[in-house]
């Protein structure tokens, strides 16, 4: 029989999380939602007030009885930091316990090849943002990080990141935990972005959705039954190396015809370069002459300006991605597909091509209510998701008491 | 914010389910596993003993102290029935609360086109098996059913079953609930089979696996994070209509090149028939002459007897299925893929072809520890899974009290 966890969440953590998730609540709500007695609820409320985690207030116009008192979080009792590392950009945001951004910083990077250097930079930037927010170390309750490669989630260690050999098994989690003396969680970029959209973005009403990041690579974060699904070995969502029939381009993974080799940013850029060099697209040719290079963004922009050849490249990429997503939609029947990442800024034509390919090849049942949308949070999706990763952990039923004991005098 | 359930399982249901899942337990185990106090545990044990659900016994050689007393389920306090309807076969098994088969019956069917007739037959057979097992109606605590088409799981109503129009929206759940006055759950065949293998078969140590049924159609049951995943609209696992690139055969769903049109039993049979009629396979030609038809099983048997042409047909089907599964393995990263259904009896060549195609096109991380196996329970997988469907429901934390109140004097 597979390992089952039988421990139940404490009344205190339940009451706190209802108040945190719902924004505010009164005693009657809490009795209804938990099934606990009035006296248990009152006991927990008094304990949480004493600890400085929540407060009571009388809503305007409401009668002055204890039943009608609203209870809400005191959000500035503690803080978490969300770190999101992209290939060319580092984003760090300081959040209070309500996940309101208190301070945020963005820093452009030339390369992320050297882990020692990058992590020292991240640590410096976290210290700086704490200073700017006037937050002492005792008020930092946790750090969540999203990195642009596969991470063993339990261990917090990167595993064979493609093209970044120095990061392989670099002890990320312990480095940050030791330095900041607080809980740290690390996940790959797409899972973190899915968390961001799932809790604070366009997918917040969905229990089941797929977040697809299309940039230099292609990956997916699976949000199933209200939580991130990581799979048996943590590699769920690894869709960039799904084979496209009839394609023969060699991928860096060693296989041929992988989706990301055919449809991600480098493929779009290289098709654009070809069109510029052969003068098939005069617009791209002019861009090449001016900048001496063509990026996927150039092709996307040109497509939005009506350049036929760029349009074709973007549509072709969307079609390939949509054809793969059609299979995954049949398989996992999500309520929404959210498209993010750099290439997601290529406009409506790109999204329309993806949508068309999904709808053409998925079953009726799987697509009846399926929404296919662009990310709402855009660049903020990463740091918000990273903050969410750690805040949901420190307030989870198994961690709640530890979090409170370590951070608050009782 | 998405709907969250805050209710915690009762101490009573937790204690009971630990004893049920682990086979037996003593007071110390129960304190360790739940985190409850000794007195809470003793209270729950006494209540459950009084209700006749559990009993205490002194293990041979153990000292005679209350701490060392083992507690186990009294399995014959109640019973459930698991019903599994295939296109040509109805299987019904009576289980006690330990999921031990008390009586089982199998009945061959000519057709399942007529829901009225089939459901009357199922009801008669359930009554018969209760009589044979000397079980009165009061001791029947629930019925689980698996049907060979998509069922709206919440409502227990079939939705547009292909080729079975009379079943569309037939009020299955309410029919059985009214007739037997007990809880009833209905799901599609593959989800039920996945439950069978996941709880009692080859996948019982896996938290994440895919069950693939290959018969007249092809479908999958997704067992993710220790439970069946049904998707936003309940159509997760619908892999039979995933498109195979380069194939143009028309499917009954209206699309072309669907996996099940290319690789399921009818496709294997029709390729076998062709080989028999053209005399390319003398063995199949002889079978055709004798029986005047060729089934997928004939092709599988011929392949196992070494017939080259049959081998090719079986391998081709396995390769197509494996190619689709490779994508789904990358996407969902299961610990195991279990192959079941009629075509799964086509021997090792078939499984080897599937395995080869999966391993060739999945990522290293997704396949390092991936097991690809045939079903262990075979035909029993269905009725066992159907029993499991209802027994896990009636003992779930939200249903436990109701189940006990309705079935036992306290």
- Whether A3 shows a pLDDT value over 60: the answer reads no
Residue B359: closest CA among B334, B332, B323, B335? B323
Q: Which residues contact B39 (CB under 8 A, 6 or more apart)?
A: none
Quickly state the pLDDT bin for A89 (edges 50, 70, 90).
very high
Place of tokens 């896996």: B206
> Looking at the complex, does the CB of residue A90 fall below 8 Å from at least one CB of chain B?
no
Rounded Cα distance between B155 and B152, Å, is 6
Yes or no, beta carbons of B241 and A326 under 8 Å apart: no
Quickly state the pLDDT bin for B4 (edges 50, 70, 90).
low
Q: What is the pLDDT of residue B410?
A: 56
- Whether B397 shows a pLDDT value over 60: the answer reads yes
Write out chain A residues lying below 8 Å of B159, CB-based: 365
Residues in chain B: 410
Q: Which of residues 145-184 of B touch A (CB under 8 A)?
A: 150, 159-160
Yes or no, beta carbons of A331 and B33 under 8 Å apart: no
Task: Using CB atoms, pick whichever of B9, B204, B229 lies closest to residue A224.
Answer: B229
Q: What pLDDT, in 10s, does the model give residues B78-127? A: 999 999 999 899 999 999 999 999 999 999 999 999 999 999 999 999 99
Write out chain A residues lying below 8 Å of B328, CB-based: 327-328, 331
Contact B115, B147 (CB under 8 A): no
Write out chain B residues lying below 8 Å of A359, CB-based: none
Residue of A nearest to B160 (CA): A365
Q: What is the pLDDT of residue B65?
A: 79
Yes or no, beta carbons of A14 and B8 under 8 Å apart: yes
DSSP string, B40-95: HHHHHHHHHHHTTSEEEE--TT--SSGGG-EEEE-GGG-EEEEEEE-SSEEEEEEE
Yes or no, beta carbons of B239 and A330 under 8 Å apart: yes
Quickly state the pLDDT bin for B309 (edges 50, 70, 90).
very high
Q: What is the pLDDT of residue B342?
A: 87
Q: What pLDDT, in 10s, does the model give residues A386-401? A: 999 999 999 998 999 9
Contact A366, A337 (CB under 8 A): no
- CA distance to partner chain A, nearest, from residue B54 (Å): 19
Yes or no, beta carbons of B7 and A332 under 8 Å apart: no
Q: Could you give the C-alpha distances from A300 to A150, A217, A265, A284, A314, in angstroms and in order? A: 28, 16, 10, 11, 7
Q: Which residues contact A45 (CB under 8 A, 6 or more apart)?
A: A15, A27, A30, A54, A56, A71
Percent of chain A's residues with pLDDT above 90: 80
3-state secondary structure of A238: coil
Residue of A nearest to B330 (CA): A238
Rounded Cα distance between B410 and B408, Å, is 6
Write out chain B residues lying below 8 Å of A365, CB-based: 150, 159-160, 233-235, 238
Of A61 and A216, more confident: A216
Q: Which residues contact B285 (CB under 8 A, 6 or more apart)?
A: B275, B276, B277, B279
Mutate to test the interface with B, among A246, A323, A363 (most CBs of B within 10 A): A363
Pick the range with the lowest mean pLDDT from A12-26, A343-357, B59-73, B167-181: B59-73
Cβ neighbour number for residue A16 with a 10 Å cutoff: 24
Contact A173, A157 (CB under 8 A): yes
Residue B316: closest CA among B256, B356, B281? B356
- Whether A107 shows a pLDDT value over 50: the answer reads yes
Q: What pLDDT, in 10s, does the model give residues A20-42? A: 999 999 999 999 998 899 999 99
Yes or no, beta carbons of A366 and B206 under 8 Å apart: no
Count CA atoms closer than 13 A to A64's CA, side-chain side. Answer: 0
Write out chain B residues lying below 8 Å of A242, CB-based: 326-327, 330-331, 361
Rounded Cα distance between B337 and A154, Å, is 24
Task: Using CB atoms, pick whichever of A34, A204, A328 lies closest to residue B6.
Answer: A34
Place of tokens 């030791």: A178
- Whether A138 shows a pLDDT value over 60: the answer reads yes
Contact B300, B287 (CB under 8 A): no
Strands (E), B140-230: 140-147, 151-152, 157-158, 184-188, 209-214, 218-224, 227-229
Strands ordered across the beta sheet of B336-340: B227-229, B218-224, B209-214, B336-340, B371-374
Task: Using CB atoms, pick whichever of B206, B233, B335 lies closest to residue A365.
Answer: B233
SS3 content of chain A, % helix, strand, coil (to 5): 45, 20, 35
Rounded Cα distance between B35 and B48, Å, is 19
Q: What pLDDT, in 10s, does the model give residues A141-165? A: 999 999 999 999 999 999 888 789 9
- Whether B166 shows a pLDDT value over 70: the answer reads yes
Write out chain A residues lying below 8 Å of B9, CB-based: 8
Task: Using CB atoms, pick whichever of B255, B334, B363 lies closest to residue A232.
Answer: B334
Write out chain A residues lying below 8 Å of B6, CB-based: 14, 17-18, 33-34
Write out chain A residues lying below 8 Å of B224, CB-based: 224-225, 229
Yes or no, beta carbons of B34 and A7 under 8 Å apart: yes
Q: Could you give the C-alpha distances from B18 to B40, B72, B130, in angstroms and in order? A: 15, 10, 28
Q: What is the pLDDT of residue A1?
A: 45
Pairing relation of β-strands A54-57 and A70-73? antiparallel
Q: Which residues contact B54 (CB under 8 A, 6 or more apart)?
A: B16, B19, B45, B48, B71, B72, B73, B74
Q: In A223-240, which positions are buried (b, 16+ CB within 10 angstroms) versus exposed (e)?
A: bbeeebbbbbbbbbbbbb
* CA B258 to chain centroid: 24
Yes or no, beta carbons of B243 and A327 under 8 Å apart: yes
Yes or no, beta carbons of B239 and A18 under 8 Å apart: no
> Looking at the complex, does the CB of residue B406 fall below 8 Å from at least one CB of chain A?
no
Q: What is the pLDDT of residue B361?
A: 86
Question: Mean pLDDT, chain B, as a whole number?
Answer: 93
Q: Which of residues 218-277 of B touch A (CB under 8 A)?
A: 220, 222, 224-226, 229-239, 241-246, 253, 255
DSSP string, A177-234: HHHH-S-EEEEEHHHHHHHHHHHHSTTTT-SSEEEEEESSSEEEEEEETTEEE--SSS
Q: Is A160 left (phi over 0), alpha (psi -120 to 50) or beta?
A: left
3-state secondary structure of A346: coil
> Looking at the complex, does the CB of residue A335 fall below 8 Å from at least one CB of chain B?
yes
Residue of A nearest to B204 (CA): A1
How many A×B Cβ pairs under 8 Å? 198
Question: Mean pLDDT, chain A, as a whole number?
Answer: 93
Write out chain A residues lying below 8 Å of B242, CB-based: 326-327, 330-331, 361
Contact A359, A353 (CB under 8 A): no
Contact A134, A140 (CB under 8 A): no
Write out chain A residues lying below 8 Å of B205, CB-based: 2
Which helix (H) or strand (E) element contains residue A359? helix A348-361
Here the tokens at position B194 are 């996945």
Rounded Cα distance between B76 and B96, Å, is 6
- CA distance to partner chain A, nearest, from residue B197 (Å): 11
- Whether A5 shows a pLDDT value over 80: the answer reads no
- Whether B409 shows a pLDDT value over 80: the answer reads no
Task: Using CB atoms, pick whichever of A7, A245, A333 lies closest to residue B245.
Answer: A245
At B318, phi and psi to the nearest 5?
Answer: -60, -40
Q: What is the pLDDT of residue A198?
A: 97
Q: Which residues contact B237 (CB under 8 A, 6 or more apart)?
A: A331, A333, B190, B191, B210, B219, B220, B221, B222, B231
Task: Using CB atoms, pick whichever of B242, B255, B366 lies closest to residue A235.
Answer: B366
> Looking at the complex, does the CB of residue A29 fall below 8 Å from at least one CB of chain B?
no
- Whether B200 shows a pLDDT value over 70: the answer reads yes
Rounded Cα distance between B144 and B184, Å, is 6
Write out chain A residues lying below 8 Å of B320, CB-based: none
Residue of B nearest to A363 (CA): B241
Which helix (H) or strand (E) element contains residue B384? helix B381-394
Q: What is the pLDDT of residue A6?
A: 74
Residue of B nearest to A17 (CA): B6
Percent of chain A's residues with pLDDT above 70: 98
Instruction: Please give the average per-residue pLDDT across B168-191, as a whole number.
Output: 97
- CA distance to partner chain A, nearest, from residue B258 (Å): 9
At A123, phi and psi to the nearest 5?
Answer: -60, -45
Rounded Cα distance between B42 and B46, Å, is 6
Beta-bridged to residue A143, according to DSSP, are: A81, A184
Task: Using CB atoms, pick whichever of A1, A3, A368 lies closest to residue B233.
Answer: A368
Rounded Cα distance between A140 and A39, Å, is 33
Q: What is the pLDDT of residue B1?
A: 45
Which helix (H) or strand (E) element contains residue A50? helix A38-50
Mutate to test the interface with B, among A6, A194, A388 (most CBs of B within 10 A): A6
Yes or no, beta carbons of A241 and B368 under 8 Å apart: no
pTM attached to this predicted model: 0.93
Q: What pLDDT, in 10s, does the model give residues B279-297? A: 889 999 999 999 999 999 9
Instruction: Please give the average per-residue pLDDT across B129-150, as a whole number.
Output: 96
Angle between helices B265-277 and B308-332 (to 10 degrees): 160
Write out chain A residues lying below 8 Å of B222, CB-based: 331-332
Yes or no, beta carbons of B242 and A330 under 8 Å apart: yes
Q: Which of residues 274-333 of A touch B (CB under 8 A)?
A: 323-324, 326-328, 330-333
Answer yes or no: is the ipTM higher than 0.95. no
């Amino acid at each position: 029989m597979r390992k089952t966890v039988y421990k139940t969440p404490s009344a205190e953590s339940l009451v706190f999380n209802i108040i945190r998730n719902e924004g505010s609540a009164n005693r009657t709500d809490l009795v209804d939602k938990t099934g606990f007695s009035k006296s248990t609820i009152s006991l927990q409320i008094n304990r949480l007030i004493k600890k400085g985690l929540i407060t009571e207030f009388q809503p305007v116009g409401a009668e002055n009885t204890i039943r009608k008192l609203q209870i809400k979080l005191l959000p500035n009792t503690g803080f978490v930091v969300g770190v999101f590392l992209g290939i060319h950009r580092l984003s760090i945001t300081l959040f209070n316990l309500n996940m309101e951004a208190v301070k945020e910083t963005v820093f452009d990077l030339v390369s992320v090849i050297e882990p020692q250097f990058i992590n020292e930079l991240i640590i410096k930037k976290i210290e700086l943002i704490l200073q700017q927010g006037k937050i002492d170390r005792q008020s930092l309750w946790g750090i969540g990080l999203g990195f642009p490669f596969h991470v063993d989630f339990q261990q917090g260690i990167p595993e064979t990141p493609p093209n970044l050999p120095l990061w392989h098994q670099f002890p990320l989690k312990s480095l940050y935990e030791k330095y900041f003396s607080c809980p740290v969680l690390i996940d790959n970029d797409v899972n973190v972005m899915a968390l961001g959209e799932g809790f604070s973005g366009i997918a917040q009403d969905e229990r089941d959705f797929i977040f697809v990041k299309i940039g230099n690579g292609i990956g997916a974060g699976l949000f199933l039954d209200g939580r991130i699904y990581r799979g048996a070995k943590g590699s769920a969502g690894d869709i960039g190396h799904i084979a496209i029939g009839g394609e023969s381009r060699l991928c860096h993974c060693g296989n041929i015809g992988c989706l990301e080799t055919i449809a991600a940013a480098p493929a779009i850029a290289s098709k654009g370069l070809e069109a510029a060099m052969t003068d098939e697209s005069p617009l791209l040719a002019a861009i090449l002459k001016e900048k001496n290079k063509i990026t996927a963004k150039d092709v996307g922009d040109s497509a939005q300006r009506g350049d036929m050849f760029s349009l074709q490249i973007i549509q072709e990429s969307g079609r390939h991605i949509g054809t793969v997503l059609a299979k995954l939609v049949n398989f996992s029947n999500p309520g929404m597909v959210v498209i993010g990442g750099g290439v997601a800024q290529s406009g409506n034509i790109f999204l329309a091509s993806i949508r068309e390919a999904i709808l053409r090849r998925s079953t009726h049942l799987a697509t009846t209510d399926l929404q296919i949308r662009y990310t709402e949070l855009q660049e903020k999706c990463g740091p918000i998701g990273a903050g969410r990763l750690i805040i949901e952990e420190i307030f989870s039923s198994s961690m709640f008491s530890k979090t409170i004991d370590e951070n608050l005098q009782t």
